[in-house]
Structures are given as structure tokens and as C-alpha cells.
Copies of this chain bind each other. A is one copy, B any other.
Amino acid sequence: MTEENAIRLFKCLADKSRLQILKSLAVEDMYVELLAERLNLTPATISFHLRKLSEIDAVRSYKTQYYTMYSLRQDTFAVKILDILKEQSDEADLQARREQAYRQKVIDAFFQYGKLKSIPAQRKKERIVLEEIAKAFEPGRIYSEREVNILIADFHDDFCTIRRDMISEQLMDRDERGYWRLV
């Protein structure tokens, strides 16, 4: 189900009158005027809602004698909400992939042969670069300042600046025992 269809489905369910119509039809087939009487609404209003409901295949209709009977299409609703939420998200997913592509672009631009060519001036880009360097540190392990310097020096000579910025960017923390990775 597309995101758009999911929204149409939930919009139909998110209205008191329509929900009552659906609940009524879950019990038995009904026609417009009877629903109108039951729900204390005008036939025009019921008709308006039934149209919306049939647009999403929530109901179907058939003629009998005088009346147009409406019935619930149960298969439309035989879905767990959670399953809908877990389906591929178009927009947000795309946005995430776009962000990942951007990160890769920044990394490609500032690293060469595993070395940091220069420290990015833009904060956002520096953050990405620092996150990349942070991967050299095992989470949970405490490092001495000397160890930190050596690991960072593998990437860039100015390990002082990088070490300081990693702290300020909350990628690392420190106390009297030493340094450790945060994210």
C-alpha cells in the first residue's frame, strides 16, 4: 500500500460518522435512509460518506427492491496497522538515503588514502568527518590521552584540534580516568 493510500484509508476511519457507518455495516448490510435514521444524519450526509468509503473499496453496493444496499468489504480492513507502518516509507526513506549520499560526498571530499586532507570549516561537514574518525574508537573502552592522540594522528597531524572538537561535538567524553567514545 502506498503512503497516499494509507492516508486515504485512515482519513476514512478518522471520522465519527464514517466509523459508525462501518461498524453498522460490520453487523449487517444497510441502505442510506436507514443509516441516516440510525446515526441521526441526513441521507445527503450518509451518501457523502458512502462515496468516500467506496472510493477506497471499503464498501460495495447492490440494488434490492427500492433500496441500494451497502455492505462492508472486510478484506480491505484485514490488516494490522503495524504492518502498514513497517512498509517502506517513500519520502522519509528517500530523505535518509539522500542524507547518506551527502555524507559520503563529504567523506570522499575530505579523506584521501585514509587520511584527512583538511579540517572542514563548515560545522555540519566537520561533524560528519569527526563521526568518521570516531569509528576508530571502540565503544565502551577507556583510552588514555596518549592513545587518543596516536589514533587521531593516523588521520591528521592536528590531533589537538580534532580531539577538542570531538569532545565539544559530544562524540567523546572524558574524566580523570581518560577518554571514551559516546556515539
Contacts and interface: CB of A to CB of B under 8 A. Distances in A.
Interface of A: 3, 6-7, 10-11, 13-16, 19-20, 22-24, 26-27, 37-40, 65-66, 72, 74, 77-82, 85-87, 89, 91-93, 95-96, 99, 170, 182
How many chain copies does the complex carry?
A: 2
B26 A86 contact: yes
Given A74-B82, A78-B80, A82-B78, A16 B3 contact: yes
A22 to B, nearest CB: 5
A26 B91 contact: no
Contacts of A82: 26, 74, 77-79
A9 B20 CA distance: 15
B81 A20 contact: no
A3 B26 contact: no
A105 to B, nearest CB: 17
Contacts of A13: 6-7, 10, 13-14, 81
A38 B80 contact: no
Contacts of A27: 89
A7 B78 CA distance: 18
A153 to B, nearest CB: 27
A74 B81 CA distance: 10
Contact of A38 (B6, B66, B78, B95): B95
A19 B170 CA distance: 31
Given A40-B95, A72-B85, A7 B16 contact: yes
A6 B13 CA distance: 9
A46 to B, nearest CB: 12
Given A23-B85, A23-B86, 7 more contacts: A7-B19, A13-B14, A20-B91, A39-B91, A79-B81, A79-B82, A81-B81
